[in-house]
Chain A
Amino acid sequence: MKNFAKNFVKRKEFGIILIVVILSVILTFLSSAFLTVTNIMDFMKSNSVYGIMAFGMLPVLISAGIDLSVSATIALSAVVIGKFMLAFPNSNPVIVILVAMIVGAVVGVVNGLIITKFNIPPIVTTLGVMTIVNGAVLLGTGGAWISGLPQWWVSFGSFKLFGIIPTQLFMLIFAGLVTWLILKFTLVGRGIYAVGGSQSSAVRVGYNVNRILIFIYAFCGMMAGLGAAAHISIVGQVDPNTYTGYELDVISTVVLGGASVMGGTGTVFGTTLGVILMAVLKNGLILARIPNYWQKVVMGLVIIIAVSVDVINRKREQAKLVRVDVEE
């Protein structure tokens, strides 16, 4: 038990838990509204979209890649399901969500194919795809909103289990669970960590790296699609312009959760904590009555400090290892 506690304290996630707990304690003192079930459910609901997309982004970052196109993918999925619902008003939420995920996955497969077949770095590929998809979305809609979604969709979005747990939280849990299962129990999951650790070693071990990469980007796109469904179910209309800049927020969330952009590391547990940290932080800034304008300053500082502390800790750890080597 002592050993377990010791290991747990050493783990990367411990730092994030500590920050979340300290923040929560401060916020509870600052505002009595913070530690209520309604408030927690509310801010988790409004952050579920980032969370769902973060779970999609996690495998990408583990594989040492990056996907900048998620903001365009979510916009495309949102527009497609918006039009889909207007065209088929007698459909149902399950079909709509499936459509959104399929659209996202298609964009992801395109990303994966370009990355693997033409050997173009992920950051450049997804930047190009983002520009193209974004252009296509705005061309198709003219930037206009889509509203007047069917009633069953609106009630699906505002449904709460036992009057407490919102639909979007289930989507978030679903996304986290699927990602966890893939990373923990499947061959592909192992492959993702292997590719992130060293791509050439993964090839030698016998992984089909190209197939794994295509899967990763398809999965990321699919989660962006699910994110679109979650977002549309919250706001009840489609604004194709609202998603610009989402990619950076999503990446920040995953990185705050302890994943490295160098690849090889990152866990679903960490990302979950990253999502919770982001949500608590945003909610806390509002409850603490900090003017809207200063929120970005705090966010930026948190990101810089979090990634710096992480690197400093790792360096210290490595220095310790070196010393052990020398002493022995």
Chain B
Amino acid sequence: MNFFKNLRSKHSNELTLAIIFIGIFVLMSILSPDKFLSGNNIKTMMFQMPEFGLMAIAMMIAVLTGGINLSITTGAALSSIVCAFILSSEFSQNNNALGIVLGLIACMAVAVICGVINGYVVAYIGVAAMLVTLGSKTLFEGLGLAFTKGGSISGFPEAYSFLGNGSVLGIPFPIILYIVVIIVSYLLIERSAWGTEVYMVGCNEIATRFSGINTKKTLLKVYIYSGVMSGLASILISSRYNSAKTDYGSSYMMQAVTAVVLGGTSISGGHGTVAGTVLAVAIVQVISTGLNILGVNRYIINIITGGILIVVLALRYITKVMEDNRKIKERAAATAK
């Protein structure tokens, strides 16, 4: 009983999200039992959700510090383009395994560099994250375009497609990677000293600095982590498309903000959980896939997603106001006695 009480008081937001998720899942299953609940569709969702989820986590950690990272998708595209150059080179055609490993290392290296650029300007120069990442978004996109001349790069070794399309023991590889990342992110963000610093910076950076924490280092690591997450997403994307291009995955940027906010992360920083973000990602994914299966126009799905974002936040505000009013009344009644 105590456990449930604890769950309700401490994780009320995640609980609500979980109920919404189950509700929508059941609703979709009733509306289209043969198609939505089919093994094929569930598997498709499992292949699609991880890349979106990774982008959302990349966005979330920046938002936790009171910043934002608008460059996640173009940074991801840039790293996958660099990776693609190595994968499609003659060397990789001859040495498949070594080529793929080198490609992946290069991809993650570029992702880290992107993170360092963002993190350095945000943390050490002190520019607002929104502006820095607005600039770096354009910069990364430009570099990607300059490298590819606007086209796409393909011709990867066959084994590379496993990362985005393969399964281990019937479980899609992307979802395995996603689950590992969720656990690691949970441990790092909510259970490590660095994670606590991240929340503290999000609440009040100056107070955090005065309590003896090197906030610059903390912030730099935040943007590197954000870069690494989007880099991992880029691997899944390039493997699924079997090519790399600057605008692959570009729609994930705004969607990631939506999922992060829907998941209960405060846009001004300091509050939010990995579980909330993951649940919000699942909700958005089930809604879009489900409505798609029902034959709803793609544009209407967009309208619904935007509507949900505003309605959920409005409801959250209204319940908070009601709660506050109730508390005030209770206190007034107590003092009257």
Q: Give chain B nearest CB distance to A70 CB in angstroms.
A: 14
Task: Report how many A-B pairs have Cβ atoms within 8 Å.
Answer: 144
The residue of chain B having its C-beta at the shortest distance from the C-beta of A305 within the complex is B135
Known: A252-B134, A293-B146. A128 touches B309 (CB 8 A): yes
How many chain B residues touch the partner (CB < 8 A)? 45
A309 to B: closest C-beta gap in Å: 9
CB of B306 within 8 Å of the partner chain: yes
Tell me if B300 is interfacial: C-beta within 8 Å of chain A.
yes
B134 / chain A contacts, CB cutoff of 8 Å: 248, 251-252, 255, 303
Chain B CB within 8 A of A164 CB? no
| With A136-B303, A311-B127 as contacts: A248 and B317 at CB distance below 8 Å | no
| Interchain CB contact under 8 A, B306 and A301 | no
B155: interface (CB < 8 Å): no
Please, which residues of chain A bring their CB within 8 A of the CB of B138? 248, 252, 296, 299-300, 303
Contact status A293-B145, CB under 8 Å: yes
Assuming the contacts A131-B254, A131-B303, A139-B297, asked whether A293 and B150 have C-beta atoms less than 8 A apart, the reply is yes
Assuming the A-B contacts A120-B310, A127-B309, A130-B306, are A304 and B142 also in contact, with contact meaning beta carbons closer than 8 angstroms in the complex? no
Interface string of A299-328 (1 = CB under 8 A from B): 111111001101110010000000000000
Interface SS of chain A: helix
Q: Does A298 contact B (CB under 8 A)?
A: yes
Question: Is B261 at the interface (CB under 8 A from chain A)?
Answer: yes
Q: Does A21 contact B (CB under 8 A)?
A: no
Interface residues on A, range: 35 or more
Which A residues are in CB contact (< 8 Å) with B143?
297
Residues in A neighbouring B146, C-beta threshold 8 A: 291, 293-294, 296-297
Q: Does B125 contact A (CB under 8 A)?
A: yes
- Mark interface residues in A109-128 (1 if CB within 8 Å of B CB, else 0): 00000100011110111011
Query: CB-CB < 8 A to A135: which residues of B?
Result: 299-303, 306
Residues of A within 8 A of B (CB): 66, 114, 118-121, 123-125, 127-132, 134-136, 138-139, 248, 251-252, 255, 260-262, 291-304, 307-308, 310-312, 315
Task: Give 19 CB contacts A-B under 8 Å.
Answer: A118-B318, A120-B310, A120-B314, A128-B306, A129-B306, A131-B302, A134-B302, A135-B301, A139-B300, A261-B128, A262-B128, A293-B142, A293-B145, A294-B142, A300-B135, A300-B137, A304-B132, A304-B135, A311-B126
